[in-house]
């Protein structure tokens, strides 16, 4: 089960972009479990419908809408339809995004622009529309998902540049929109395994290769990102805005050349399943 109080988000309405798969799906699961109505939005209806089917077993609290966040008009329509149908929009989680592996020298301008367009401009479109259509007069909380780009992102420089820009955008908005009652923060995940994330990189074992550089000596779970997002959306984070919460077990701080961490299993994964009848996984010690 979620570590948060049952009913914490009762009566709230959230938009989670990319909420049909991986990290976004875990965020959707946890928000729904805590009583939130969640609209998930991305480009492919088949993925979204599958998630809606899985995440709404009893009551219909998850709804799917097709939207390419690169397209400003689609984002405008998405936000207006959410407000029209639900009467409000309390939370936005900008999770939809992606990238491909390439050195900068081999990157086409088209490929560069596509990643910037999704990961930076898409986040800008969603923040701006949520603000204009609802949050400027009602307040709200936004969480932007970025990545571990703090020491550069070789082979994903387009994504690193976009995420660093989102971090700076978030800081500016935290100041500009405070007077409207809007908080905006970042969750920067380290290496988080999901089948969809793995499938993007074909034969490259990104998750296996990243393990030695993670102090926990394991990759993270989508639920470990979700609980950070839920905290930042909650009243417990009422005095937090413009912050970046790294969910990477210290990977962004660790250099194996400077300090060797032996293999260990002392930071087990935090995972929980949506369906009540499934067994709970071991909990983290801390």
Ligand X SMILES: NC(=O)c1ccc[n+]([C@@H]2O[C@H](COP(=O)([O-])OP(=O)(O)OC[C@H]3O[C@@H](n4cnc5c(N)ncnc54)[C@H](OP(=O)(O)O)[C@@H]3O)[C@@H](O)[C@H]2O)c1
Question: Which residues make up the interface to ligand X (CB under 6 A)?
Answer: 17-18, 20-24, 42-44, 47, 67-70, 95-98, 118, 122, 145, 147, 189, 191-192, 194, 196-197
CA angle (33, 15, 24) in 5-degree steps: 65
We find the least distance from the C-beta atom of residue 96 to ligand X, in angstroms, to be 3
Q: Closer CB to ligand X, residue 95 or residue 133?
A: 95
Output the residue with the shortest Cβ distance to ligand X: 22
Q: Closer CB to ligand X, residue 13 or residue 51?
A: 51
Q: Closer CB to ligand X, residue 108 or residue 260?
A: 108
Q: Is 82 helix (H, G, I), strand (E, B) or coil?
A: helix
We find the least distance from the C-beta atom of residue 55 to ligand X, in angstroms, to be 13
We find the least distance from the C-beta atom of residue 190 to ligand X, in angstroms, to be 7
We find the least distance from the C-beta atom of residue 47 to ligand X, in angstroms, to be 5
* Tokens 């970046």 belong to residue: 244
We find the least distance from the C-beta atom of residue 239 to ligand X, in angstroms, to be 26
Q: Closer CB to ligand X, residue 6 or residue 200?
A: 200
DSSP for 178-220 reads GGGTEEEEEEEE-SB--HHHHHTTTT--HHHHHGGG-TTSS-B
We find the least distance from the C-beta atom of residue 18 to ligand X, in angstroms, to be 3
Q: Closer CB to ligand X, residue 102 or residue 136?
A: 102
Does residue 277 contact residue 1 with C-beta atoms inside 8 Å? no
**Tokens describing residue 254:** 């660790």
* Cα-based torsion angle of the residue sequence 24, 222, 155, 122 in order, rounded to the nearest 10 degrees: 20
Q: Is 66 helix (H, G, I), strand (E, B) or coil?
A: strand
Residues 6+ apart with CB under 8 A from 278: none
Q: Closer CB to ligand X, residue 33 or residue 221?
A: 221
We find the least distance from the C-beta atom of residue 21 to ligand X, in angstroms, to be 3
Q: Closer CB to ligand X, residue 33 or residue 118?
A: 118
Does residue 73 contact residue 130 with C-beta atoms inside 8 Å? no
We find the least distance from the C-beta atom of residue 150 to ligand X, in angstroms, to be 12
Q: Closer CB to ligand X, residue 98 or residue 181?
A: 98
Backbone angles phi, psi at 193, to 5 degrees: -75, 130
Q: Where does the chain show beta strands of DSSP type E?
A: 13-17, 37-42, 62-66, 91-94, 140-145, 182-189, 244-247
Q: Is 45 helix (H, G, I), strand (E, B) or coil?
A: helix
Residue 244, beta-bridge partner list: 186
Sign of the C-alpha dihedral computed for residues 25, 27, 31 and 36 taken in this order = negative
């Amino acid at each position: 089960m979620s570590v948060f109080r049952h009913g914490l988000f009762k009566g709230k309405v959230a938009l989670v972009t990319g909420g049909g798969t991986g990290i976004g799906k875990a965020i959707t699961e946890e928000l729904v479990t805590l009583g939130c109505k969640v609209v998930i939005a991305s480009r492919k209806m088949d993925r979204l419908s599958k998630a809606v089917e899985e995440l709404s077993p009893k009551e219909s609290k998850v709804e799917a809408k097709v939207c390419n966040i690169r397209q400003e008009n689609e984002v405008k329509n998405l936000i207006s339809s959410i407000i029209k149908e639900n009467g409000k929009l309390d939370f936005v989680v900008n999770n939809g995004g992606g990238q491909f592996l390439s050195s900068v020298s081999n990157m086409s301008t088209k490929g560069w622009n596509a990643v910037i367009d999704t990961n930076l401009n898409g986040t800008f479109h969603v923040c701006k529309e949520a603000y204009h259509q609802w949050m400027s007069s009602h307040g709200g909380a936004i969480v932007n998902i970025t990545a571990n780009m703090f020491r550069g992102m070789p082979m994903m420089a387009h994504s690193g540049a976009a995420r660093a820009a989102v971090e700076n955008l978030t800081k500016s908005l935290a100041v500009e929109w405070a007077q409207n009652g809007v908080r905006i923060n970042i969750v920067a995940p380290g290496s988080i395994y999901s089948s969809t994330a793995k499938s993007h990189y074909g034969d490259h074992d990104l998750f296996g290769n990243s393990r030695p550089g993670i102090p926990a000596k394991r990759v993270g779970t989508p639920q470990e990102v979700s609980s950070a997002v839920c905290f930042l959306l909650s009243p417990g984070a009422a005095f937090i805005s413009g912050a970046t919460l790294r969910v990477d077990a210290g990977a962004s701080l660790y250099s194996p050349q400077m300090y060797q961490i032996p293999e260990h299993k002392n930071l087990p994964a935090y995972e929980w399943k949506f369906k009540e009848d499934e067994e709970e996984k071991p909990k983290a010690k801390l």
